[in-house]
Structure formats: C-alpha cells, structure tokens
Structure 1
C-alpha cells in the first residue's frame, strides 16, 4: 500500500509529530554513559566529561554527534539528580514532568513579597527588623542544589547552612543573629544558605537534623551540626575554626622560617601572613583552606619575640597585615600585599595567578590538569616539557635546578615546564615507554614533550639528548670552579647543557606549529596523588592529629571544659573501681564463711547458731495466688498441704520432712493452705472438678489433704488418708460416691470419692459400721507412696475449666 498526501497535509502532520519526538523519553541513562547502576556521583561526572569531549559537535565530525551529545547531557542531568535517579531506578521515570514524579516546592515565590507568614497571621505590628525571616526565604535552596553545588564546592569553599521552617518561633528569634552571620561571613568567601526543613524533609533526615533552627557547617563534603544557640557569633566562629583541617596554617618563627620557605618537596607555593595578633584572622584561614592543595600558608605573630628576624627579613611594616608569596627563590617574593585588613578579593587576585611553582612536579592529576590542560585543537595546542628524575641522587637535584633556570626565562604562552619522579608515577611512565617502544628502566633524566588532546589520551615526543648530569654544586650555581681538576668537567657539562637546551628549544618550536604531528600516542591513567595517605599511614596521621589537638586544647580556652571532662571520667572510674573492690571484699568474706562451715561439718562440729539450709514453704493466700498458681510456668507444679491453726505446727513439720528430698527440683513449689480462711476456695475447686454439684465441706475433715496443682494444664491430684485411690472402696465410700456424683446414668463413680466431705444423709441407705477414727499425727503416713505414684503419673487427675479467684478476708 502506498501513502499519498497533499503538501499542506504532510506539513501539518510533521508539525504535530515534532512535540511527540521532543517529549520522547530518553533511553537507559546507564547504558548511554557506559556505567553500572551502582556508580557514584564522581564516576558519573567522569564518564560524562569523557563522552562529552568525545561527542562534542565541534570536535566530532560524525553526523549523529549532535543528537548523541544531547542524549549524553540528558542522561547526565538525570543521574546527577538524586531524586530523578531514584525515580528512574524505582519506576523507570525519565521525564521530570511525569505525573508520578514528585513536584518540587517553588522557591522563586519567596522573594516576591516583603512580608512573611507571621505578618499575615498576626498583622504588620508583629513583624520587626529583628524578626524578619525574609532572608531565610531568599537564601533557601533545594536538596538538589545542596548536594550538587554546596557539598561539591565545600572541598574548597566552606558553607554555613541553616535549616528552618515557616511557623517556628525560635527561627524568628534567630533571624537577627542569622542576618549578622550572613553580613560577617559572606564577604570572607563563605557560602551561606538556608533549607526549608518542611519542604526538604528527606534531606533534613539524612543530615541528622532533629529540630529547627539547626545550623550546620559543610566542610570537605562533611556536614557538622552546631548544637548551641545562634545568639553567640564568637562561638560559631570558634566552631568553624575547630573543624578546619589540622595545621592548615603553620606557625612560623625565627627558628623554623628557613625550613618552611626552602622546602618545596610538598610541591606548593609558600605564603606568609604577618599580623600583630596571636591567632590568624578567619578571612586568611578561609583563603588558606581554599588554596590548601597548591599553597602552604604560614602565620607570623609580629608581637612575638621570636619573630623579629622574620619580620625584618621580608621588610614587613608594623600595624598592617601583610601577605608574602614565595616560590623557589625564597629571598625574593613573587608578590606582596600590605594593608590594614587584606580583602578576600585581593587575596584571590594575588594567589590565583601564582599558585604554581616555576618548575612544578606532576604529583597528582589536579597538577597535571593545571600544568598540561586538555586542548584538542592543533592551532592552540599546549605543550608540557617534562623531565624524568630520581630525587634520591644529587644529579637529580642538579638536573631540576638547571631545568628550573630554563623555566624562569621567558617562554611561549603555550609551553610549561615540569618534572616527574620515576618511582612515584610508574604507571604514567610505563605508558609512555610502551607507546614509544622504549625501556622503562632507562628513562631517568630524559625529557618528553606532551600534548594532551583528551583527558586520557596524549601525544608526545622524546628529546633525543639526555639531560646532562653533574654531581657538583658549582654545576648548579653556574660558577667557574677554583679547583683546576674540576675545570674540564665543568666546561664539558656547560657545553652539553647548552647543546641540550638548543635541541630542546628547536624541538619545542617545531612542535608548536599546527601542521606538526607528534611521533607517539598513548593511553594514560590518572596520576597517583603523592600527598594522600592510605592504610596504616592514614590511621597514624589521624591519631597524631587528635593527640596534638588535645594538647593544644589544654593550652587554650578549651582547657576548662577538657579538664572537666577528664575529671568526670576519673571520678566515674574511681567510683567503679571502689564498687568493684567492695564487691570483691564481700565475695571473699562469703567464701571464707562457706569454707569455715564446710570444715566444721567435716569435723563433726555442729554450730547451733549457724543457719541451716531451709526449704521455703509458702502460704497460699490471695496475695501469692498468682505467683503460685495462675502465673506458674508450664511444666511446674505446686504441692499444697491443707492445715488449720491446731494442726499447723505438727503437720507442717512432718510435711517438710517428707518433701525435703524433692527440694532441688526447680519445677516444684511447696505451700500450705489455712482452711479457716480459704475453705471456700477449696470447695469451689472441688465443685468445678465434680461437674458443678453442690457441696458442703467440713473444714475440720479437710485437714491433712494434699493437692498437687498443675496450673498450666488445669488439673490437680489429691491425697487424703481416707481417699479410696489405689484401694478397694468401703461401703460407706460407695454411698458417698453415689451421693456426690449422682445416681443418674453416666455419672462418674469417682466424682464423690473424697472422704471427709459431708452431704445430706441418705435415709434409704443401709446402716453400716463407721470406719476407725484417724489421729492427727497419722494423716500424712501414706504421703510418701502417693508422691511416688504422682511423679510416675499413675494418680487420678481432676480437671477444672479455670482456677477460681481467692478472696481476701
């Protein structure tokens, strides 16, 4: 089938299809960037930078480069946003306008109105200048901005972030303090922002914010919560000082100034701050933090006695703040500024163009980015002349000095000199050697010209001549030696050095031409950061830092709080030790007493005053009813003896003797019941076990009865001297059984077989002789045999539906 349409109809269909194409969702962003789903934010940025440089329409001639570049950018924007990335991972949402996507709060509305919610609610008279929270709204940021900008930039720029809400009276009271803090810290280069804790609740939870207002310090991607009030600005500034890296600024005096300004192994420019005060100003401390990777700062207290030589050496005037920048030539500063308080903008303008040494070392990837930036266009290619040296030999030191002298001379703008340690960057040098077919072990004192077309791919060419080597100091100084034996060596070294310099200048001049092509190409990895500590070294540095911080705190205003904490810890430890000592003494005393009693028992000497081991006999009453019956654990039983006031002493003594062998059985409890007070409970138990028939119980005849209660399974076993269990029933017993159990069909013949419980006499029954009378001392004669049958399980069990209440009389 062939489709035909008029020209105007085709144009209309095309116009209608454009929005659909634009609104089409992007593909899998992880596949577009070539990363795994667990990639971190730095990995996402790295992949985006590489792909963006590769597919940029100005650099890539592929016809699909523009659409590919847009796709890469959209994938990066999605994955760099935490909320959008989570929405894609959970629901596959790639379009931010999707109805399932969470809408952000519109912060742009805040700055449009001069009033605040308190003014609308209470009236205009409520709002004053000190209680104006409009500044909170103007500085408010979203969680995305907080994570992608504030946290990322905190590596070089500290940030103060305040969490607040609209209807918060404490926030209103802190508004004036926050305004003063903004006015004081913003000119110093500190980022100040606010976050609405109600609109960004997830961010507040992640940061550990439990209440508002809450002030936080974001420093080097770490968030520190300030736990005191906002009214005291000195405390906030002291909190900031304490969180800065330890020894960010070195204290300089006459004794250590030479070691500080002449040691460039850290690959940093030196900056000396002179002030007439004991502590460095916060503005200079923040500048030192911003440039800490490239500049080492030192502080000189001009009021100290041991700093007079340093002040005179650099001709610093009193009553002014001075900053001196020094490079390899420590005698002549490269820049100096002196004023009452050096503005932050002036500090940046002075340090920014002078943050690299005359001959820097390629000690990290960041140094490589600054010395050898990426430039893909041949007409504007930037070259790096790199010398490979060994720092352990004097020849390496002299070679660096000679190359530094060459770097100090005027050179083309697109050329930089540097050097690299062979032992510190083995992967980088191995890539260069492999790309040119050279031996990596024979690269010392060789010079390579590098052009970085891409971040991970370079073009380079080796200088044919090896950099000349001389082990004497006069070779470095360039002075003619007085010793005649060294003249020939000095002359030969100078000739070789001049020839090498001419060859290097010619090579550089040729390679700067746009039409020239460098001989070799290689894929290189990122340089190792030589200043970073890993493993045991990092832990040792952290322990040393905290130890020195503790000692420093003892000499400052923190001494009182630190002493208080130490005294509290010492008091707690002393109290714990004293309690442990007393417990140990008591245990020793008890042990000695036991040992003495054991010896006396072995010798047959019985002490009447010594307490004998006893078995507890509990009285079953209302107060102990739950513990002995209702709440007893499964598998446990309670053996109960029924006594009255007359038989209590005699029967309990005999009962105690009979059950004594079972005292170690932890599943048994032994008790006695006073029938005068609790006969009604006993009658109710019997009534429930016999089916609910009416009983008249004679309390006197119940004496000597033993009940074995199983509360969990709701049954009991009963012992009585006249109980028919195990023997042939007496005729009178049979009559009572029929009377209590009922004469009806299906009645239980054992239901009334309890001797001693009287009912109404049966006039139709035959007269029989009464059994012999039992004496009180003979009521428990058969208890031992009954206990044996009880634990064998051969006794009869009487079940109840529930255990009745025991009332208190």
Structure 2
C-alpha cells in the first residue's frame, strides 16, 4: 500500500514537472525582451532605462491590481536585466537566447511571490541541507556586529556607501537570491563599495537599530543614514540602488559654455578641479564614488565627448576620444597640472591620481582640518614638514604679492616644504600670535613654521622685511629655506597656536536645507513603497496631535458655552481659584507642564511612573488624561523603536505641537 502511494506521488510530481517544462519552453519561445520593453534593437542604454522605469512603475504589483501584473512585471525586469548587460544582450541578438532568457529564471519552476516590496524565486522541494539556512560561508567575512557598525561602518559611510544584506538562519528565501547577491558583491567590491551582512538571529540589537524586521532584505548606508531597498532583487536594481544613495550634486556636467566658470571657481572653493572626458552619456559610477570619497578636497566635473557642445573643450586640451581621460586643474585654469589616460581606469589608479593632487599649489588655510593635513605634526619616524605661510589680505592691492608667492610655490619640488596663505582678517587670532612683537605696518609677511605637537605648539621664524613679491623678497625667502635645510635650529621662536576659524561655517544653513530635503525624500519614499512599519509611528503621532487639538477646542467650546448660560460663572471661578481649584486655562497649562516634565522619565523608560503621576494630577479631566497617555506612549515608542532620524522629526513636531497648544491656552 505504501509503495502504491509512493508511486502515485512520484508520478504526480513527474507530470507536474513535464507540464511546467512545456510551459517554460513555450514561454521561452515567446519571450522577446525588445518586445516586452517596446524598444528597437538599436535602442541605447539611456532609452532602455527610461522605458523600464515607466513600465516598472506602471506594472508594479503593489500598484497595479491586474491579475497579470505580477507576470508582466517579472518579464519587464528580466528584459531590463538582459538588455542592460552587454554580454547577455549580444548573446540574445546572436542566438536568440541567453544563459537565462526565460523570464522566470533557468532551472526554476516559475513560481514567485512578493515579499517586503521585492520579489525572489522560490522552488518546491528544495531545502538547505548542505547549508544552514540563508547563511553562506562566503558571507562570514562581511558579517557585521553592533559595535563594529557604530565604530567603523557609520564613520566610513561618509567616504563610501555600504550595501548590507539582512538574513537569518533557515531563511529559505535567502537561498534563491544568493547568486544575484554574490554577483553584485563581486562587482561592487571592485568599485570600493562597502559590503555587510547582518544575521538577525545573532545581531538582533543591530537589526532593530537599522529598522530591519524582514529577511531577506537589503539596505544602504551613506553619510550615517539608512535607506531600504524596495525593488526586484536583480543585479541591475541593486547597482542602481547603490548609485541612488549618493548625493545628487557630486559631479557637475561641463560643456563649452560653463567650463571657464567651473574651473575658475578654484579660488572661491579653495579646491583643485578634476575633469573626466568619456564617451558615455551618464557619469560612470566609479567616478561618482571617487567624487564622494574626495568631496572635501576636490571639485569634480564630467565632459560627455559625444555632445557637440563639448567639441571646443576636446580640441582645446587635445583629448583622445578613444580612451577616458582625466585632467586636474589647480591655480592655472588654462593648463592642467596633471593628466591620466587609460582604457580601463581602475579604482586604485584613480585614487592614487586624486590623492597626489588633492591640494592646490598654495591653498588658503580655511579651517583646522586643512591646516592639520597640510602642516602635520612632526612624527619620529617621518621627515620634518615645514610650512611657508603668507599672511595677506583679500584686497586687490595684495594681488601682486599673492601671485609672486604662487609662482614660487609652483616652482617648488621639495616634498618637505608646503606653501599656504591666510587672510589676516579671517584668521586674526592665528596672525596675532605669529606677528607678535613684529612690525604690524607691513602689509604682507611670510612665516616659516614647524608644528611640534597636536596641542598647537610650533617653532617658527618670520622672514624679515615683509613681502611684496619683488625679486629681492623671493631671493631672501629662498636663502632662508636653504639655511633651514642645513640648520633647523633657525626656527628659534616658539608659540602655541589657537584653533583656526572655520571660514565655511556660513554654509551651515544651506547644508541644513539639503539635510531637511533628504529627510523629506526618505519619508516620501517610505510612503510610496508602503514601508508602514517605519512610517506608522509618525502617522500615529500626527493623528494623536490632531486628537489633542480637537479635544482642546472641545474643552474651550464647552467652557465658553457654560459662561454664557451661567452669568455667575466668574464669581464661582474666582471662589474656586481662591480654594485652589483649577479652571480650564490652568488645567491646560498644567497638562502642558506635565508633558514637558515627564519627558526625562519617558526617555529613561519610566513610562508607568510618569503615566501614574499624570493620572493622579489630572483625574478631574478625562480627556486631558487620555491625551496625556497618548502623547507619553508615542514619545516612548518613537524614541525606543525607530531609527535615529525619526527623533529629529519627532522633536520638531513636538515643538510645533506645544506652540499650537499654546494658542488655545
């Protein structure tokens, strides 16, 4: 009997497999990625990407309730994956198929389901007996722990983005995305992108900190902020997700019209400018990542060689259009300070090129960070570093001396010497220390200094006679530098320098606006992709605030109506006030006081005690008591369970709420 049942079961499975294979063959024959996307065989990558975004938005199963939406979305995604991969596209054009032309994937049965806003293949009768759940041995080197994430990943995310996979033991769905994950990681690592894996079974604290509650899921970290991946798990989507993590204003498109404006901004920004010439219309991801890593040092521009608007630039700098070319400009905008050209620019080559050119020939000291890098503290195992500092002004009358100092810095080939200048009015405390007991009537002066420790101690020597850029001044300075090479003891003055003023602090408002815009974009993104677990506390708080306002208005309306019906209300209120009984206004004020006072207790987790105290003090006003519980509960919920940026939003809303309540008091 058992054998008969087993045979029936096996026959059933075989029949199902045959039917599925027939369906796959038929579907494969009908599947044409060009027809699915509605593009021609000569369509460019930009056209394919534009059409894909439109179709993916139209057929996404979360938004399109058509029963065929899921299958159509899968075909659209697969078509995009084939046509954006040069090898797969060439294979399809030549043979009519690729290694994985079938829209549901090779070797799978075509069953799919959506999970946490992205989909993945799921086969029947497939269990991870040889691998413990969704964990892969190759992922062990990417495993993140809470302390490691806080101390290493977050600071490093200000220089490069991170892609993190959330997984767990016995996550069967995680197995089917492993090939895509491995292929994506292999390519992203060559670009220098950070990779991480979080196992929620072992790192529950980190998973809660990130706001990751589903497995498998993917998220990105850049500038310390977390963003979730919401699309189909294919390599192209993950690559695009990482690219979208980067700020939008990293690289400027440069043409014949704006190239002079771009290059001449070196003086205002106090940075070298780099131009990449390439034939692709969009900025390469590797170049964007480089711009993000060196955004504090270098300004980046991109020139599309395929545009007619860039023809003059190509002729001016004699650019070879057969290979990408990178030029770096410093103080001279007509002649590049350095150049590199290669058909396949690797990350290591680009990093070395930018690192060797991340400072101007004679940069302006605008903050302490730049001073520390240009004039480092002497180390025992390193050679001495001397800074030749010009103290000057911003007026046009100082231009001659400044240009002469720059020409001297341009001719310098000694790595031991660093040339820089400061504006005396902007760095007055620093200049007062260096020019102490010196002739202050001299308009410009040069000081040679060496830093001795991180506390600001220096040895220095002012060059006598000041500086006006004459040949005599140049000769005198060169003689002092030659003497310094032979006898470092000529730096016979010592002092302790104050910390430099940050001349870019005026940009704080602009940075704050950009930050607020990024937060708003994240909220909209969460709403569009139904990420309710993260958005629900905020929505709940908004409705609670509206409830409190409505309750306050109702209380005020009842109190006004009672005053009209009872002409003796004022006398009663006066007698109650004498006896210590609270009126409506005092009740509202006391309620507001209770919310503010209870905040420290709530933050420390003393929710029960705070609510109990509110209950005792406000027993005479049921509505106020209810709103007290609502507000305190939401404060506790948000501060404990949400990502850090929600605290910022919550505090802003709380302040606004208090001001609105004050209008009714």
Q: 1:196 to 1:288 in 2, by over 3 A?
A: same
TM-score (normalizing by structure 1) = 0.46
How far the C-alpha of 1:269 sits from its partner, in A, is 1.2
SS state of the match for residue 285, structure 1? helix
Corresponding position of 2:425? 423
Q: 1:514 to 1:174 in 2, by over 3 A?
A: farther
Q: Relative contact order (alpha carbons < 8 A, sep ≥ 6): 1 or 2 greater? A: 2
* Partners of 1:295 and 1:431 in 2: CA distance: 31
* Partners of 1:355 and 1:438 in 2: CA distance: 34
* Partners of 2:178 and 2:320 in 1: CA distance: 41
Unaligned runs of 5+ in 1: 1-118, 470-496, 563-809
Q: 1:168 to 1:426 in 2, by over 3 A?
A: farther
Corresponding position of 2:319? 316
Mapped contact 2:447–2:460 kept (Cα < 8 A)? yes
Q: 402, 405, 414: which is aligned to 1:403? A: 405
How far the C-alpha of 1:419 sits from its partner, in A, is 0.7
* Partners of 1:348 and 1:308 in 2: CA distance: 28
Corresponding position of 1:137? 140
SS state of the match for residue 207, structure 2? helix
Mapped contact 2:128–2:172 kept (Cα < 8 A)? no
* Partners of 2:446 and 2:402 in 1: CA distance: 12
Q: 1:535 to 1:317 in 2, by over 3 A?
A: closer
Corresponding position of 2:555? none
Unaligned runs of 5+ in 2: 1-124, 530-665
Q: 1:349 to 1:144 in 2, by over 3 A?
A: same
Per-residue Cα deviation, 1:518-538 (whole angstroms, up to 9, x for no partner) = 232222233233334455444
The answer to whether residue 260 in structure 2 is matched with residue 287 in structure 1 is no
How far the C-alpha of 1:240 sits from its partner, in A, is 2.7
Per-residue Cα deviation, 1:417-460 (whole angstroms, up to 9, x for no partner) = 11112233233223334xx3348x75741111111011222121
Per-residue Cα deviation, 1:349-388 (whole angstroms, up to 9, x for no partner) = 2222121111111122232122211115599432101111
* Partners of 1:358 and 1:269 in 2: CA distance: 9
The answer to whether residue 179 in structure 2 is matched with residue 206 in structure 1 is no
Corresponding position of 2:445? 446
- Counterparts of residues 69-88 of structure 1 (less than 5 Å): none
Q: 1:376 to 1:321 in 2, by over 3 A?
A: closer
The answer to whether residue 236 in structure 2 is matched with residue 242 in structure 1 is no
* Partners of 1:378 and 1:206 in 2: CA distance: 42
* Partners of 1:350 and 1:377 in 2: CA distance: 28
* Partners of 2:382 and 2:214 in 1: CA distance: 59
Q: 360, 369, 373: which is aligned to 1:370? A: 373
Q: 1:376 to 1:239 in 2, by over 3 A?
A: closer
* Partners of 2:265 and 2:254 in 1: CA distance: 14
SS state of the match for residue 354, structure 1? coil
Corresponding position of 2:23? none
* Partners of 1:166 and 1:255 in 2: CA distance: 57
* Partners of 1:522 and 1:314 in 2: CA distance: 47
Per-residue Cα deviation, 1:746-788 (whole angstroms, up to 9, x for no partner) = xxxxxxxxxxxxxxxxxxxxxxxxxxxxxxxxxxxxxxxxxxx
SS state of the match for residue 326, structure 2? strand
Corresponding position of 2:274? 271
SS state of the match for residue 509, structure 1? helix
* Partners of 1:312 and 1:138 in 2: CA distance: 48
SS state of the match for residue 467, structure 2? coil
Q: 1:538 to 1:223 in 2, by over 3 A?
A: closer
Corresponding position of 1:521? 494
How far the C-alpha of 1:323 sits from its partner, in A, is 1.2
How far the C-alpha of 1:174 sits from its partner, in A, is 2.2
Mapped contact 2:231–2:237 kept (Cα < 8 A)? no
* Partners of 1:376 and 1:189 in 2: CA distance: 30
How far the C-alpha of 1:338 sits from its partner, in A, is 2.4
Mapped contact 1:273–1:324 kept (Cα < 8 A)? yes
Mapped contact 2:271–2:359 kept (Cα < 8 A)? yes
* Partners of 1:545 and 1:531 in 2: CA distance: 21
* Partners of 2:382 and 2:218 in 1: CA distance: 51
Mapped contact 1:226–1:239 kept (Cα < 8 A)? no
- Counterparts of residues 49-128 of structure 1 (less than 5 Å): 123-124=129-130
Corresponding position of 1:66? none
The answer to whether residue 502 in structure 2 is matched with residue 503 in structure 1 is no
* Partners of 1:152 and 1:445 in 2: CA distance: 40
Pick the structure with more helix per residue: 2
Question: Which segments of structure 1 move beyond 6 Å, counting only runs of 4 or more?
Answer: 543-547
* Partners of 1:546 and 1:199 in 2: CA distance: 30
Corresponding position of 1:457? 457
Structure number with bigger Rg = 1
Mapped contact 2:461–2:490 kept (Cα < 8 A)? no
Matched length: 400
Mapped contact 2:434–2:447 kept (Cα < 8 A)? no
Q: 1:378 to 1:185 in 2, by over 3 A?
A: closer
* Partners of 1:240 and 1:277 in 2: CA distance: 19
* Partners of 2:184 and 2:443 in 1: CA distance: 55
Q: 169, 174, 182: which is aligned to 1:171? A: 174
Corresponding position of 1:467? 467
